Structure 1
Amino acid sequence: MASDIFGDPVAAELPEPPAEGPGLFGDPAPLAPPPAAAPAVATAATPYRVLARKYRPTSFADLIGQDALVRTLKNAFAQGRVHHAFMLTGVRGVGKTTTARIIARALNCIGPDGQGGPTPDPCGVCPECRAILADRHPDVQELDAASNNGVDDVRELRDRLRFRPAQGRFKVIILDEVHMLSSAAFNALLKTLEEPPPDVKFMLATTELRKVPTTILSRCQTFHLKRVPQDQLRAHFARICEAEAVPAEAEALAMVARAADGSVRDGLSILDQAMALAGGEAVSAALVQDMLGLADRGLAVDLMQALMQGDTAGALALSEAAHERGTDPAVVLSDLLDLTHLLSRMKTVPALRDDPSLPEAERSRGAALADKLPIPVLARAWQVLLKGLQEVAQDGVNRRAAAEMVLIRLAHLAELPTPGDLVRRLTEAGAATAAPPAAPPPPNGGGLRAIASGGSAALAMAVPAPQAAAPAPVPSSFREIVALASGRKPSLHAHLRLNVHPVRISPGRIEIRPRPEAPRDLAQQITALMQEATGTRWTVSLVNEGGEPTLAEQGRTAEADRLALAQNHPLVQAVLAAFPGAKIEAVRDASLDAYGLAPAMAADLAAGSLGEGRDFAPPDAEPVGPDDELPQED
């Protein structure tokens, strides 16, 4: 606006007074000018607030799914026993920071008349409550410990706490993600947290409670905020849809609640997105399904039925249909995994079949499917799906191809008997067809025992062998000499087993070829051992060539031969054929000594004829029955 030399506004720019009555010359009074148009900013709509902020709880009554927390805090305020430090922990979006803000209002509320004190039901209309709700209260400071995690930040905060509150009754410090503080920052906070000024309250929030030092936890009251149950989330979302005048299908809200995974904020963000996608129309289940890339819940049941019937073509057709709708292959496997868990629970907890929180398709069709599938089959499907999810998640892998291979594997396994069924069938078939033994069974009860779990089988074989003769008072073999060192001289025993090739053993004389790893005084150690064990002096000679394999090598060779014999046995081959990918993990013989050798094998080893004339078990041997006594294992 222009002005004259005295700073007054120019007369031409002064507003004219409103005309009253006729003009000076009798002219009619001019019409009043139309009101000036309001600025565009004034007519603009209020900025949109997302649902997570618009419907953020402002009182303890608004918190859902945290009944224990609300009851404890209300009682603490009613009794005047409000702690000076709270630790609020839980997954994201369950209300940790919201609870801290409600406590801050409850501490500083002065009531509508300005005379009130701390209360569990803040009024929401006093200047303190309004300032805290608007995030502009000078005494309620909310800090992000992820970005203010240094010791200097904590020292600065500690210095500010020396002054009295500027406006409210208490200074309330809200530290979010407190587990991100450094060790030095925790140490700087420790003393202040233990003995703060009387007008200071701490609200600490974290999603990783285990990362908070115990010295900090011991100075706080800890509250665990639980995941909000799906039924409460659905009811909460339904109320919001009604308040927003946006219709929504019940199944759509159920999908949103499942995707929220117990987090109110996550669920509201998903619901906000679904409302925007609906464009003012009703939020349908198909819309939410397409938006989140979810598989149809009925698809999981159809797919499980096809897989458990061995219908590979039908299962792949259902997978193809899900792929055309844009469903992620990992989501299909994850839904199958969830369904497997649900069916297993239905088998063990029959009351779950009437759970109203489950969709109708899962309650009715799932219950019928659970009646047909035994627990071993469900457990096997669980293991295959877990492994399949890992394969799909690998880098550089065609996710769709990996998922289809998992489905093919499941359909193939559905046609195979469970490990328990297989062992029972083999036992019954062997008992029906085996010829009576021509000789009494060996003392150790030789036979077959199969232990299978998942897709692998561990086989333990008992091999009949002649009983060892009582050892002579004087050692006559190298194995007997090595056995003398066992328990007496552990170091010498290890060298004799691993680093010595026996050449010739005769009464009073030992001839050996030591390996370079053997100690230099090996001969003296053996001489002292034999003198101590037998009471006579033995001569020990060392040679540079010849000799048999070491005892350790003999044991490995014998183990390899036993494994080869086991793999060629008809019953073992039947087990391996029934379980693709299974392998023999161990072959054990109760008659073997500590070196893995049979008592009568020394001569065979020396002659190079190990295993000749001995069979693993006769092909027509009768398998061990479930009530037969098994050989004892070392």
Structure 2
Amino acid sequence: MDKFIVSARKYRPQDFSTVVGQSHITTTLKNAIRNGQLAHAFLFCGPRGVGKTTCARILAKTINCENVTPEGEACNKCHSCVSFNEGTSLNIHELDAASNNSVDDIRTLVEQVRFAPQAGKYKVYIIDEVHMLSTSAFNAFLKTLEEPPPYAIFILATTEKHKILPTILSRCQIFDFKRITSADTVEHLEDICGKEDITAEKPALQVIAQKSEGCMRDALSILDKIVSFTNGELSYRNTLEHLNILDADYYFRILDAMQQQNLADALLIYDDINRKGFEGDLVLNGLAEFVRNLLVCKDEKVASLLEVVESFKDRYVAAGKSADTLYLISMLNVLNEAEINYKAARNKRLHVELALIKLCYLAQALQVAGGEAGKKV
């Protein structure tokens, strides 16, 4: 049986054109390679799983390629590219600063920099999680980073740029990676599902994209898990079940019950949710996000901020238009207070039910408050 390779490794981009959602960075790097304007030190920063280390490796491979294409991409055929793809290249050195963060580790690195490459044009040093270096290690690295030999290039990668010393930042060309959009994530997942002969409903992939929050590595890990769970068939229902996400249909039903001041239905719906094993704080948080989405739907200018499954969009827009803005804002206040106090509550179920009772009679309370305010005027 062939050894299984997780999708995040199997489909790791091998050239700039296959990097997802970072065209502002890949275009700049390709232009720099074509025009011979490479900096000696780069800092790649941004959230986890968006392609920082991947882009660092592609850059290291491309600048040593013997036949760079006119577009600024590696040929993947020359001896340098082949050795890099096989992991045998001596021109790339990766250091994990999380476990090699002392002055001695940096001194060893500085000693290595003194030796020119035996083959190829550049020796590339990729330092991952560079913010983990100690202050003294940073200081020991300063001089080499500022004036390295002409054949040495440093690529630093970090998720926490604010922890890096200003003296280091000033010596690097800084590239800020952004979170990958849900649309780009879904498109990439569809491509992988096609290659792997996986049957996947688009709503299921949209749920995975939302759950990953812009991190492609997380999205691919979730995909692998669900494929194993469902034996290669991803549906909207089994994806929700595996990720322990509550179907938005429940929130629409709760909203209908509240608008009709039907407390019995609201409590029965919550009981059904509770029997499925969902914790109360997850329900409160999910309902608050649902109400936020309804507020977003009320104005077309901010409708682009709505990130929900496409099949639910029309339903959100209709519900948002029919609900009063003051009512929705008041719902958010009640839910926010309930969520804050959830941890301190002894009886968690009763705490959530009290919030639902308040919400069911919220419209009535607002009318009373409005009437009293009118009398005072």
Place the TM-score, normalised by the shorter chain, in its bin. over 0.9
Which residue is equivalent to 2:339? 389
Q: Is residue 330 of structure 2 the alignment partner of residue 380 of structure 1?
A: yes
Q: Is residue 360 of structure 2 the alignment partner of residue 408 of structure 1?
A: no
- The offset of 1:324, in angstroms, is 2.2
Matched pairs, number: 377
Which residue is equivalent to 1:110? 66
- Classify the secondary structure of the residue corresponding to 1:415: helix
Contact 1:248–1:283 (8 Å) recurs in 2: yes
The 5 A counterparts of 1:219-230 are 219-230=171-182
- The offset of 1:338, in angstroms, is 1.7
- Classify the secondary structure of the residue corresponding to 1:239: helix
Which residue identity is paired with 1:61? S
Q: Distance in 1 between matches of 2:200 and 2:354?
A: 38
Contact 1:108–1:169 (8 Å) recurs in 2: yes
Higher-helix-fraction structure: 2
2:123 to 171, 174, 189: 171
2:19 to 49, 53, 63: 63
Q: Distance in 2 between matches of 1:161 and 1:105?
A: 18
- Classify the secondary structure of the residue corresponding to 1:299: helix
Please identify the structure whose Cα radius of gyration is greater: 1
CA RMSD in angstroms, aligned pairs only: 2.3
Distance 1:348 1:194, change over 3 A: same
Contact 2:345–2:351 (8 Å) recurs in 1: no
Q: Distance in 2 between matches of 1:252 and 1:158?
A: 49
> What does the per-residue CA deviation read over 1:528-553, in whole Å, with 9 as the maximum and x for residues that have no partner?
xxxxxxxxxxxxxxxxxxxxxxxxxx
Which residue identity is paired with 2:360? A
Q: Percent identity?
A: 37
- The offset of 1:359, in angstroms, is 2.9
Q: Distance in 1 between matches of 2:310 and 2:125?
A: 48
- The offset of 1:206, in angstroms, is 0.8
Q: Distance in 2 between matches of 1:57 and 1:354?
A: 29
Distance 1:279 1:321, change over 3 A: same
2:273 to 318, 322, 330: 322
Q: Distance in 1 between matches of 2:334 and 2:171?
A: 46
Contact 2:298–2:321 (8 Å) recurs in 1: yes
- Classify the secondary structure of the residue corresponding to 1:416: helix
> What does the per-residue CA deviation read over 1:160-187, in whole Å, with 9 as the maximum and x for residues that have no partner?
1111113332111111111111111111
- Classify the secondary structure of the residue corresponding to 1:174: strand
Contact 2:296–2:302 (8 Å) recurs in 1: no
> What does the per-residue CA deviation read over 1:506-540, in whole Å, with 9 as the maximum and x for residues that have no partner?
xxxxxxxxxxxxxxxxxxxxxxxxxxxxxxxxxxx
Q: Is residue 40 of structure 2 the alignment partner of residue 84 of structure 1?
A: yes
2:256 to 276, 300, 305: 305
Which residue identity is paired with 1:333? L
- Classify the secondary structure of the residue corresponding to 1:237: helix
2:238 to 258, 262, 287: 287
- The offset of 1:46, in angstroms, is 2.8
- The offset of 1:397, in angstroms, is 4.6
Which residue is equivalent to 1:265? 217
- Classify the secondary structure of the residue corresponding to 1:92: coil
> What does the per-residue CA deviation read over 1:135-172, in whole Å, with 9 as the maximum and x for residues that have no partner?
33222111111111111111111111111113332111
2:289 to 319, 322, 338: 338
- The offset of 1:329, in angstroms, is 2.8
> What does the per-residue CA deviation read over 1:12-71, in whole Å, with 9 as the maximum and x for residues that have no partner?
xxxxxxxxxxxxxxxxxxxxxxxxxxxxxxxxx331111110001011100111111112
Q: Is residue 300 of structure 2 the alignment partner of residue 349 of structure 1?
A: yes
- The offset of 1:360, in angstroms, is 4.5
Q: Is residue 372 of structure 2 the alignment partner of residue 426 of structure 1?
A: yes
Q: Distance in 2 between matches of 1:176 and 1:358?
A: 34
Distance 1:125 1:368, change over 3 A: same
Contact 2:203–2:310 (8 Å) recurs in 1: no
Q: Distance in 2 between matches of 1:383 and 1:133?
A: 54
1:157 to 94, 106, 109: 109
Q: Is residue 194 of structure 2 the alignment partner of residue 194 of structure 1?
A: no
Distance 1:369 1:192, change over 3 A: same
Which residue identity is paired with 1:193? L
Q: Distance in 2 between matches of 1:319 and 1:57?
A: 45
Distance 1:131 1:119, change over 3 A: farther
Which residue identity is paired with 2:265? G
- Classify the secondary structure of the residue corresponding to 2:239: helix
Which residue is equivalent to 2:321? 371
Q: Is residue 136 of structure 2 the alignment partner of residue 136 of structure 1?
A: no
- The offset of 1:221, in angstroms, is 1.3
Q: Distance in 2 between matches of 1:354 and 1:167?
A: 50
Contact 1:353–1:364 (8 Å) recurs in 2: no
Q: Is residue 133 of structure 2 the alignment partner of residue 181 of structure 1?
A: yes
> What does the per-residue CA deviation read over 1:263-321, in whole Å, with 9 as the maximum and x for residues that have no partner?
111000000001111124x2111111111110002212222332344332222221222
Distance 1:95 1:277, change over 3 A: same
2:6 to 22, 40, 50: 50
Distance 1:422 1:408, change over 3 A: closer
Q: Distance in 1 between matches of 2:61 and 2:207?
A: 35
Q: Distance in 2 between matches of 1:213 and 1:292?
A: 39
- The offset of 1:235, in angstroms, is 1.2
TM-score for the superposition, normalised by structure 1: 0.56
User: Which runs of 5 or more structure 2 residues have no equivalent in the other structure?
Assistant: none
- Classify the secondary structure of the residue corresponding to 2:42: strand
- The offset of 1:79, in angstroms, is 1.4
Distance 1:212 1:244, change over 3 A: same
- The offset of 1:395, in angstroms, is 6.8
Distance 1:142 1:324, change over 3 A: same
- Classify the secondary structure of the residue corresponding to 1:305: helix
> What does the per-residue CA deviation read over 1:467-487, in whole Å, with 9 as the maximum and x for residues that have no partner?
xxxxxxxxxxxxxxxxxxxxx
- Classify the secondary structure of the residue corresponding to 2:140: helix
- Classify the secondary structure of the residue corresponding to 1:91: coil
Contact 2:291–2:332 (8 Å) recurs in 1: yes
Which residue is equivalent to 2:201? 249
Q: Distance in 2 between matches of 1:407 and 1:361?
A: 27
- The offset of 1:81, in angstroms, is 1.0
Which residue identity is paired with 2:76? G
Q: Distance in 2 between matches of 1:322 and 1:156?
A: 58
- Classify the secondary structure of the residue corresponding to 1:417: helix
TM-score for the superposition, normalised by structure 2: 0.93
Q: Distance in 2 between matches of 1:380 and 1:244?
A: 48
Which residue is equivalent to 1:435? none
Q: Is residue 157 of structure 2 the alignment partner of residue 217 of structure 1?
A: no
Which residue identity is paired with 2:125? I
